[in-house]
Each structure stands twice: as structure tokens, then as C-alpha cells.
Structure 1
């Protein structure tokens, strides 16, 4: 994932948690906050220690970032996103995780079809 698409600092996470909105399904919680001054989205991924050891958590984190990287054109710019993994993700395959990520993005109205403009509304 490109550096411009990373949500890195604790203060950014806190702003999204405090002032953003959320959407969820059984596998993920998505927090999002509009940032109209940004041309692209930024993503932060959170995987709790309750899900497993470091190997398991890092695998989940890598898979989520790769799914987002490959589908970045479908996600509108101008948003800070935080994707939080829940327990069922540990046993899921790549395709199942991808489908679930799309589902939670669609619930938050953050999934763009190919013909739509790239800027946030």
C-alpha cells in the first residue's frame, strides 16, 4: 500500500474514532471520516491480540492491506478509514475476507462503481 494511503499516527486514529461514523458486519468494523482536503483515502488496520499471536495478526493485516491496494480505484478519495478485524476473520480464506470487506464498504456507501468520479462528495 502506498505511503499516501496509510493512516499512521495515533492522533489520526483518535479523530476518526471520535468524529467519524461506523459500519459493521460479523467480520469487520469500519470507522470512516470525510476529509475533503485529501485527494485519496487513507487506511488504518487494527487487529486485536485476542485474534491470535503476532503471526496470525500480521497475516490478517497483510491480507487486508493487499485487498485494499488491489481495489483502491473502487474506494473514493477524501476519507480516513479504519478497518478493525473481528474473531471470525482468523478462519476465513482470502476470497471470503475480500467479500466481507466489500460488504462493509458497501454498507458505509464507500464502494464506487467504475464509472463514478474519484472525488469525495
Structure 2
């Protein structure tokens, strides 16, 4: 499922200011309700993460983790993931586990099927 993206700076600023943040050494999750009615996603990797190759890898790994865990029908939320310095050096399974923990802390539903 392809999610709609947060593109404008004022939308990012609103989520940073009014949203709730959930911090982990590998990743930061910001969540805020929106009035649009559908979920929007923003991925951020600053220059502290590294060169362009590492920033793109961090965004790619975060996007894969979101596709695995975020259901399409959770309602109107703005979700921003911010990469930390170690994010591009991690495997996608590690980022996926971290995102699952952060989503559980945020109270967002998880699409991934629990393992038995």
C-alpha cells in the first residue's frame, strides 16, 4: 500500500509542535491526529546521518518497516519517522522491531501478525 506523504514544511512543523514523540536510539516517531481523514507519512534523515547514500538507505529501511507494520485503515494520523545516526547501519529487521515497539507505545495498531 502506498501512503500519502507529508511534503510541506508547515505540515512537518505542525506534527513536531502538536504531535507526541516516541524516542529510541535507532529511530524517533512523531504521531499527531489530522483532520484529513487518511494517514500521511513523512520520512526524515538529516545530514547528521551521513552522506546521501546513507540518508537514502535510512529512508528506504524506514519505508520498508512502515509498510510491514502500519495498517492502511487506522484513520487520520500524521506519522513522521526521523532517522538517527545508527539507522542506516542497521538491518531492516532491527528497524522493524524498533518501529513495532514505538508504535505499541504510541497506541497505534500493528498490522504485523504475531509470531507463534
TM-score for the superposition, normalised by structure 1 = 0.80
Instruction: Figure out how many residues of one structure are paired with residues of the other and give that number.
Output: 112
RMSD between aligned residues: 2.1
Q: Deviations over 1:10-69 (max 9, x none)?
A: 11001111111111111111111111x333211101111111100110011112112212
Change in Cα spacing, 1:109 to 1:91, as seen in structure 2 (3 Å) is same
Per the alignment, residue 17 of structure 1 pairs with: 16
Greater percentage in helix: 1
Instruction: In structure 1, list runs of 5 or more residues that go unmatched.
Output: 115-121
Question: 2:88 is matched with which residue: 90, 95, 98?
Answer: 90
Per the alignment, residue 53 of structure 1 pairs with: 51
Change in Cα spacing, 1:67 to 1:112, as seen in structure 2 (3 Å) is closer
Q: Distance in 2 between matches of 1:26 and 1:66?
A: 19
> Which contiguous aligned blocks of 4+ residues in structure 1 show a shift greater than 3 angstroms?
none
Change in Cα spacing, 1:33 to 1:39, as seen in structure 2 (3 Å) is same
Instruction: In structure 2, list runs of 5 or more residues that go unmatched.
Output: none
